[in-house]
Structure 1
Amino acid sequence: MDLARWQRLSPLLDALLELPADQRAEHLQVLRCEDPQLAAELERLLLLEADDAEFLNTPVMQLPAGVVPGARFGPYRLERVLGEGGMGQVWLAARADGLYERKVALKLLRSGLVDSSLRQRFDREREILARFAHPFIARLLDAGVDQGGQPYLALEYVDGESITSWCQARQLDIAARLDLFRQICDAVSHAHANLIVHRDLKPSNILVTPDGHVRLLDFGIAKLLDVDPLPVEQTRTGVRAFTLHYAAPEQIRGEPVTTMTDVYSLGVVLYELLTGSKPYRLKRQTDAEWEEAILDGAPLKPSQAAQLADPLLVRPYTPRRLAKVLLGDLDNIILKALAKRPNQRYVSAEALSQDLLSFLRGRPVLARGESMGYRVRKYVQRHRWSMAAGTTILLVLMTALGVVAWQAQRALHEASRAQAMQRFIAELFQDAGSSPNTPIDLRSLLDMGILRGEHSLARQPQARAELYGVVAQLRLSLGDYREADALLQRQANLLAQLPDAPFSLRMEAVTLRGNVQRQLGNPGLCVAQMQRLELQVDTEQSRLSQQVSAYYTQLGRCLREVGQTDAAKRLFMRALDLRRKQNDETGLAETTLDLATLQADGGSPAEALHTIASGLMRLRQKAGDHHPEAIDMLRSMCSLERNMDAVDDAVRDCKQSLKLAQELHGPNHRTAIDANRQLAALYVDLGRFNEAETIFLDTTAWMTTRLDVNHPDMARAYNSLAIVAWERGDLARAMRFQQQAVDAWRKSGNDGLIAAGLFNLAMIQHDAGHDRDALAAAHESANLRARQFGANHELVGDSDRLTGEIQVALGQTVLARSVLETAVQLTRAGYGPEHSHTRRAEVSLARLLASQGQPNALEQLDRLGQLHSNGLEQRKAVWLARAYAAQLRCQQQPQLSRVTLDAVLADMQLAVPEGGAVPREIQAIRNTCGKPVKAATAPATARSAPRHASPS
């Protein structure tokens, strides 16, 4: 069938398909009188459609033969089909002429869609579209016609998902979706500025790359406004060069297109992006009904469509909640973009984007008109802060803002001076709030600063962006992470409108945003945001070395937290090299600590401890004893010493870090809170449970008011409270807190924290007699640690030891023996033969073997009970060995065994007067010693009380 004949048949066939079966015969009879041949063809197509519902989905025009993988078109060789549409196919192709290597998306047009002047028109499009230089547009690279007359377009190949699929798969909220959509508007606006209308905007032409960047595709059918117009598209009676569902009314009518045609298509894309559906509800999905709806139908309000939406398509919202978010401003914005008449829509894609930005910032939108009540309501919503501050402090703030404004006007391109002024203001406010005896409400001061800046810097957007960064940095130092994040989002939105803003400002802004996201427990989002600038940052090392080293450090920390240790180390080494050249002692200490953390994560705690100690000595020599960076270095030394059984040294360094934090920042600063919590964990190891629990409750209350309930640091608080409850024997409370910790860590996606939490949960469940649940948790902990650190890591040995003890309690002694033997090997190789973890594994294995009557096993328990012990954790292993040996002798020598157990209990009473899990277990052995018991493979009255895991 030729093209002209199909153009005649298509609208008639659509009309007949919409009629009931009895009315079709009537219409066909009328057609037979006018054109018998046409009526016969229509009747034949209706019969084919009745036999096969997919018949009409088969294209009537095909690509020429030979379009197969390996075929050549111009200089390109086809590899595989990427997609197919009404105009042709898109193939992944590679350059095959040997000039250079490159993958492209090669679009092959159907021959029926082109005219005799195709080559000249493609050359003209290639020259004009080459003007594009926009990060959100996939460029047209080449165009031509091969020797066989086949037209093709070579476009930049983009490996990504359509924007709707991307947002649904990641359950993005409205603000994040609007941020992505505004990137699309930016790209379309760039095209319009180059006198090009896209004419086929749809989700499949808008991809999001794995790093979160939008790419607008397929400008191959774009209308060129500065040249002779292309032939008008056929509509109801022809083959369209656009997608019907996203077409504007003027495209359906065959009228000339303008930039506002793209605005309509953007409105449809935005509608689908936010509601998961298209604007029109049709009874029958035919082209005729779609055309009628686009021309004359009223689109359903997005808020109403949301209430009818599939809940799976609108996550993370429920349909009702989404409808509430869309009601009002977003309803009006989308419906204005979808207006039937072009002059009633937004005048440009940029105007649409600006209205969406106004919505995100809580400002009035153009789509709602200019009513006074609406504008007043918006103003009140934006300014809910307290208006109280001292006159003296206000004068200081006004002076600082004046300096920022002057700096923005007089030195717009002098980035170093602008950043120096920001640091000056930050230090000024930090000094003002550092003394606990000075009656200053710093948070009110910061709120007033933002309010004042919005007014005084209204015409100076760059100065306002700098102010947001300064105040966000102060908020971060106060532990106000959510408030800092909100300010930095406003700063990012403002910088997006300032293409001439200094790159140093953009780099500092993204570094600060990365820090906030990491503190909020979102290291993956930190990496995604920061890596967008990495290539540009690399080129600025010599000019902006201080800002670049800070950027490398922050990105390295986020990469470390998502498990990309090699990439993190490379960035830390770059930062270290830059800071050495700058003689930046503070930065050197900071990077030294980061590298030591990687050493510790890699299984070299002694090396890490030496690295930090050397760095701390250098810092004190160069900068004195009261440098803020010393706080984190002392805390890291405390953590490493604790893991190496040097508890006394750990207490010393933890106390030093807490004292320094309180002196420099005050007792309610986040740094002091973290140092105090770390010291409390040591108190748990020492059996000082009352002191530890008091600190944990105080620090948990502080964090609850500032952090999300599932933040990793909140999980650490739950974990700490669970361990105290377990040591005291309140097992129900301990399991409840520990389950909260595990659930929160699972949301963070950090395998190390999840494994530590599961280890502690299994330990508590084992103590409570829930051994089957405990075994599942211990297995998962071991598997996570093996995946993260390798199957031969000492932490895997700890999990294996706990798994073996649980298997003994379940009577699985054959499996338990094998697992405990592995635990002894791994802990001895990783921690060393004298470490408490190694001794605990040896005690558990010797106990099992002795209970099975293995030769020399009981003597091995006796030897372990006589070993020299340097610290409390090693003494606990000795006490358990002596208690287990006495337990095995209770039936034959009850009196002597009870004397031994009483001596152990007396020894423990002196060392840990508040008791704990180990004394509680040994007391249980003493209570049952000499009493008749049922035969068992291992003593049933005692459960090993392993040392808990301590997430840092």
Structure 2
Amino acid sequence: MDDLNWDKVETIIDEVLSLPEEKRYTYIEETCGHNQRLKDEVTQLVESIFDSEGWLKDLKDHKHEFYDDVSEDLKSLSSTQDFVGQQVGSYTIKEKIGQGGMGLIYLAEHTDDNFSHQVAIKIIRDGQATKTNIQRFRREQRILASLNHPGIAQLYDGGIIDKETPYIIMEYVCGIPITKYCRKHNCSIEKRIDLFKQVLEAVRYAHENLVIHRDLKPDNILVDESGQIKILDFGISKLLEDEHNLSLTKTGARLLTPKYAAPEQIKETNITTATDLYSLGVIFYELLSNRPPFDLDDCTTYQAEQIILNQAPTKPSSRCSDNHLSEALRGDLNAIALKAIRKEPNQRYRVATEFLEDLNNYLKGLPISARTDSFQYRSYKFIGRHKQSLTAAAFIFILIIGLTGFYTWKIAEERNHARVEAQKAENISNFLLTLFESSHPSNSGPEDITARELLQEGRQKADQIIDEAMQANMLSVIGQAYAKLGYRDSALTILNQSKDLIKRTHGQESLEYATINFDIGNTYDVYADLALPFYQKSYNIRSELLGKNHLRSAESLLQIGKTHNNLGNTDSARYYLERSEDIIAKSTTPNPSIELEVDQEIARLYYYSKDYQKAEEAYLELLSRPKDNLQTDSLAISRWNQNLAWVYIRQQQFDKAVPYLEKALLITESLLGKGHEKTLKARNDLAGVNSDLGNLERFQSLSEENIEYTIEQYGNTHKMTCQANSAYGLQLTLYKIFDKGEKYLRQALEICSSAMGSNHIWTAFANAALSANLEFNNKPEASLKYFNEGQKIFKNNSAKLNRVNKRQISILLRLYNEVDPSSKDRIESYSNLLAEDDS
């Protein structure tokens, strides 16, 4: 680049960016003339810009940042390394088949005497291996590895070439973009919808596994010769669980394809599952009409953005040149396509399931959610479904009257039968739960049988029941009782046994199957990422069998919203909670219990949205309600006290939090016992606030009580005991109570090694925590030993780091920064672990 004039290069590129695609290279040829060096550099830079899965905005304002990011030496950009013929693992690269903004894609082959196998290998191309791009590349590798669906290209392997160039080996997909496939085979509307439903199923699977694609477009959705779709390139997708690192954008460069980008991507605001649904909506529109909703080919970047943000799309039917096709699209298909590309995320399809439901209803001739729900519309759909048999108006009238009378009688009969069955199940459940509660430790004398012993006896009796349906019901109740007593692992084992029986006796689309999924989701509780798919499954079944406006459907939506609350996805939480609240408000059957749960979840939503004033008002209102319909010291009241305390803690008003935490602890101790998981949490919160207020004696007393009761509840070799010792030891270290802290940290290390093994991440953290304590206490040799051991385990487990581990490492960083900021090597080491996890 040294012998080139950057201003001249920039001027040419500025002009090229404003030209339509077919005129760009002609302009470069004419402008550069015989200067081959200049022509090569401009061409390479333009290709990098448009291949980077996005366009640059305001290039002049960001030219140096872009130039540095693309390559420190522009010369290297034009001399990209050729990997053809090179060996990568057990594969030989045969030919280049494609490229993206940072990756070259090759066809490679594994051939020996036993078999021959073709794969696609993606490699960061020479000049693009910046730290940021390598992090994105590694993220793509991890995301693809976590997805296993027939509609998503599979990841086989990955590694590093020449110690600096990452690669991934992926399934080779021999196919063409879905839009080209439909045009080439002249697919019917029904065939196009069937293909698109495959896409929605794959995207739904990815969303349920907490992955957003963020760059869905026809080139990333291929159809092979058998008609199977494959979604490619998750290189710029975002894990939903990584809620606090929403943006992968850089100033001046957005990783998106404008033609299929949602308005929120253009505005660089919050990305959600609805963003992918918008891109799919554009693709669906194009599949229907053979044209996109907006003509952007001759637009500048700014003009394209303004159209996407401000211009209302016309109906797909009005974009068709074929009158027959245009007629077929009128009505439902127009409505579905336009709903999918609404500019407001909360007005379009929020989850793939909703999009699928409307397409399935269209194919069945049923009403769709995208149309106005009027009597005239529903009547029209009914007649359309039965037009072969309805030959005269008189027959229509008689049929409607007859069907109405028959189904009214049938529904009433089934409802009465369901009530009898529900009452029978409720009587059994109530009897068992009452029996379990009567044996609760808080109600039992020293000679009484314990609740856990009674549960074990109940499980043994349940295993002897011959009727599998009844056995499933009994196991479900026993599993819930285990969960209520805080034995989550045992509860999940029993509930999954019940689930298998229900699957065999009632099927996977039954209300019983929906209920057991709901109960398993409840048992996971705070492990929201694990609970979410079970709640989603329960909603899918209930809404299909009972209808979307049924209270049971609302109950599942409520729990989905609650789970998104726990994950920090406040937009998604608000969406599901408002849907649930709307169904409950319209219900003719009052249900104070579920109404109360929605109210308290909305209070939590305010808290997670950091609207602390509204959260405080909501919790105070809940606590002020009459207790006529509530147990005075119920767990709900305990939760409200605890949550209100956290509203004050977040505002550093620790003194205000104390009385509410004291109340919460008193209630949970009296109802659940001193060693229950919820009681341990309440006591731990109270200890933390006393620590923040400088009440060290009270802090130590509560923390040591917690360790004592944790051992009583879980034993001395359980991960919960390890965590309690570790957290307390670290806090003592922060207060420079080193010897006592060392004692608890050594106990934590011993328990972790015994309970989870010497190569577990928690064991790594226990080593690291003990190392920090020893270093601060002037024991450098012993400290180094445990530090090295922890580092070795961390490196062996780097791919398994999760948010809990990330918080643990953040605590270590806080310790070093507050107690001994001179430990540069250790601060850097733990910072790198966090950076790799973020990537």
Query: Per the shorter chain, which TM-score range?
Result: 0.3 to 0.5
Task: State the TM-score, normalizing by the size of structure 1.
Answer: 0.38
Which is higher, the Rg of structure 1 or of structure 2?
A: 1
Task: State the TM-score, normalizing by the size of structure 2.
Answer: 0.42
